[in-house]
Structure 1
Amino acid sequence: MSAGTTYLDHNASAPLLPEAREAVLKALELTGNPSSVHAHGRALRSLVDEARTRVAKLAGATREQVVFTGSATEAITQAIVGGAKALGFEGIVISAGEHAAVSKAAEATGLPVTIAGLDENGVIRVEEIAAAMARADAFGARLLVAVHLVNNETGVIQPIDRIEVLVGTSPHFLFVDAVQALGKLELDFAGRAPDMMAVSAHKIGGPQGIGALLLKGHADQVRLIPGGGQETGRRGGTEAVALIAGFGAAAQVFPARYFEANPGEILETAVQRLRSLAPATVVFGETAERIGNTLDFAIPGLKNSVAMMGLDLRGISVSSGSACSSGKVGPSHVLRAMGVPAELGECAMRLSVGWNSTMADIDAFIEGLTEVLNRHRERRATAA
């Protein structure tokens, strides 16, 4: 990041890795269409093929299972909207903690949508998915169960293994939003039960504007954008070779950089220092299994709108949750589903770190937050 700034919003978008930047620039120097059979086209096709191999390896998939899309949102929409059309689902089950890309796609199908709740730790209530499946089985109806692996706000890792047991041997389908898990958790798409899975480049230091949908063979007919046969007919439109090359480069180098940065230790330190600064600090999903790079917390009485503005003025970037709903800082649907009181939810902030994060980022954050909190306390004392 530039001098004088501190970036703690990797879940929104990770900084571009140097290797990904270089791959994008090199690809932009080439001319042609990757579908052309001449030498120019073949050179571009080789970049796409190499990137597909790298993304597949990181996701535990085969090359043939990777379909490049314009974003993870597009991949999610292809899976849900395209899947509803191609596979004849008669209903969709999601959780109350899904990203808007999932919930809006489910609504767009026009099918009945069942929403499984979250417990107080932000964990999907698997028994509610089981109940929905049982109701569908009674009528011979096929469902699509669409759930996330890692919550983008709380970092809670969902019990996908339990959901796989439910769906895996049934006539129903399972889609997993693995956007926040790629490169941070070990994925085995080819060997596990999910029928479809979405991933994204810019969450792992790749460029924005490129994602991928992973499809098992029995879901291969799922389409969203028809066209000239690109991506073996599964996603029309000339491939964005430069972005795809950047995705491949990020997939190759991100995990090592991420784990070398030790994000879990960085955020453990952040929690300790937050509680030293404000003992009443609440960590959401604290007792659940969580991914190491995400911390969702609140200091009671300090609204996130006030804190984030004060931090931003000091060159420190944090968020209140999903970037897709930021810009309007409001209550989190995830925290609401967890039963968090509205007043406390208005104080929620998220720190998310990644491949280039350091303890110095936490030093800057705590220093800035201390100033914001002290000013806030002074104002409250004056008002009283």
Structure 2
Amino acid sequence: MNLANRLKPIKPSPTLALNAKAKALAAQGVDVVSLAAGEPDFDTPEFIKQAAIEALRQGFTKYTPTAGIQELREAICAKLARDNQLTYAPDQVVVTVGAKHAIYNLFQALLNEGDEVIIPAPYWVSYPDMVQLAGGKPVIVETREENGFAPDPDAIRRALSPRTKAVVLNSPSNPSGAVFSRAALEGIAQAVRGHDCLVVSDDIYEKLLYEGQFLNIGNVAPDLVSRMVVINGMSKSFSMTGWRMGYAAGPKWLVSGMQMIQDQSTSNAASFVQKAALAALKGPQDFFVPMVEEYRGRRDMVVDALNALDGVRCRRPEGAFYVLPNVSGLFGRTYKGTPVTGSLQLSEILLNDFRVAAMPGAPFGAEGYIRMSFATSREQLRKGLDRFKEFVTSLR
């Protein structure tokens, strides 16, 4: 017996694998500083937890419509209007088991064999594999650190073909923390305007913003809203990673297709978690302010420490909770007599010998970089940075 051929090009998630290895070492009593996972260290706000508890007490534990309860889809529409100035109806929204699930369903509903999806690099590791699982072909468009990792409209224009079905935009970005400016989004809009393709706006980090203004392409190009899909969820902004609650809003024909995929896979997201999500969207939003301020302070601390190291250069991200230091200046130096030649090798040394878990850049389409999350305490960040400095100074 063999696995299906569709799995041949698929790689295990490196973020999940490295995080699992770090947790396994920690479970053995090893003092590991994990800067690998994109998971807030803040607790889920109490009023959200209480909403889930109340739903359980009231017996709200049965099936719901696959697309989600009506009041939650209405609340998502209200949120999109309030925060993003986008107008959607409840039948244009599907509630999913995390934002990752929404993107997976989207590609399954949209792509035929050989269809192309343009993905700017650096990119979230799962985009290319989810495209391939749906029979599609990822078309990677490189961005440049000196341009703030913003996609070049001309590069996107050159990448467009008759097989292009979608362009994926993630701002604030995982892994770079880049926030696309109005000018950048207007340029991308102009590039795709004459081409019959969707624009996927992955807005999962929208609340974690330190510089500038959050915009998605629908805000700068209203004429493209009819072929835009907004992906979002509760994991990052509301510290609800384990709750698995996301959603997509887009054209009714596509959302209906995504719902059909979900009908035959997970059915609805957990009923009582939908009640928690409803509370999150309708409840107080002021807890974002101290959380974002704390992340900003951590960001500045980490960036300053990294830029003080010989051979390391780190751009200051405008959003999300990652830094993407350029470590190519360390390549060619030797560690224990062996040359350092790539980000994967560097990350393995950091974990095995210095007990720091940091993601290699290669799986994100960013060889020469590593990704570090600052979604952990300042104490842990200082310890991790000290160990990273010890590694850098040990190189010859």
Which range, TM-score by smaller chain?
0.5 to 0.7
Structure 2: how far apart are the matches of 1:214 and 1:293?
A: 25
AA aligned to 2:235 is: H
Map of 1:270 onto structure 2: 302
| Aligned pair partner of 1:223 in 239, 258, 265 | 258
Structure 1: how far apart are the matches of 2:391 and 2:214?
A: 43
| Aligned pair partner of 1:132 in 159, 169, 177 | 159
Map of 1:352 onto structure 2: 374
Cα distance, 1:67 vs structure 2: 1.4
Farther-moved stretch of structure 1 (255-264 vs 187-196): 187-196
Instruction: Report SS of the residue matched to 2:325.
Output: strand
Instruction: Report SS of the residue matched to 1:350.
Output: strand
Identity of aligned residues (%): 12
Encode CA deviations 1:273-322: one digit per residue, 9 max, x unaligned.
4445x354321x45xx732643222664684444456776xxxxx7524x
Question: 1:150 touches 1:180 (CA, 8 Å); kept in 2?
Answer: yes
Farther-moved stretch of structure 1 (250-259 vs 13-22): 250-259
Structure 1: how far apart are the matches of 2:33 and 2:350?
A: 15
Question: 2:229 touches 2:249 (CA, 8 Å); kept in 1?
Answer: yes
1:52 maps onto 2:76 in alignment: yes
| Aligned pair partner of 1:106 in 113, 120, 131 | 131
Cα distance, 1:9 vs structure 2: 6.2
Instruction: Report SS of the residue matched to 1:68.
Output: strand
1:197 maps onto 2:254 in alignment: no
AA aligned to 2:385 is: L
Question: 2:350 touches 2:358 (CA, 8 Å); kept in 1?
Answer: no
Which structure 2 residues correspond to residues 142-181 of structure 1 after superposition, within 5 A?
143-158=165-180, 159-168=184-193, 170-181=195-206
Question: 1:183 touches 1:255 (CA, 8 Å); kept in 2?
Answer: no
Question: 1:264 touches 1:292 (CA, 8 Å); kept in 2?
Answer: no
Give the gaps of 5 or more residues in structure 2: 1-30, 336-345
Map of 2:340 onto structure 1: none
AA aligned to 1:246 is: A
Structure 2: how far apart are the matches of 1:375 and 1:189?
A: 41
Question: 2:124 touches 2:175 (CA, 8 Å); kept in 1?
Answer: no
Map of 1:291 onto structure 2: 319
Question: 1:273 touches 1:366 (CA, 8 Å); kept in 2?
Answer: no
AA aligned to 1:200 is: G
Structure 1: how far apart are the matches of 2:53 and 2:138?
A: 43
Which structure 2 residues correspond to residues 1-384 of structure 1 after superposition, within 5 A?
11-13=38-40, 15-18=42-45, 19-32=47-60, 33=62, 35=64, 45=69, 48=72, 51-52=75-76, 55-56=79-80, 57-58=82-83, 60-61=85-86, 62=88, 64=90, 65-84=92-111, 90-121=115-146, 122-133=149-160, 135-136=161-162, 143-158=165-180, 159-168=184-193, 170-182=195-207, 184=209, 186-187=214-215, 191=219, 192=222, 193-194=224-225, 195-204=228-237, 205-208=239-242, 209-217=244-252, 219-223=254-258, 225-226=260-261, 237-251=267-281, 256-261=286-291, 262=293, 263-276=295-308, 278-283=309-314, 285-286=315-316, 290-291=318-319, 293-297=321-325, 300=330, 303-308=346-351, 319-321=357-359, 331-336=362-367, 340=368, 345=369, 348-353=370-375, 361-367=377-383, 369-370=385-386, 373-374=389-390, 377=393, 380=394
Instruction: Report SS of the residue matched to 1:150.
Output: coil
- With structure 1 as the length reference, what TM-score do the two structures score? 0.68
Cα distance, 1:21 vs structure 2: 2.1
Give the gaps of 5 or more residues in structure 1: 37-43, 230-234, 313-317, 322-328
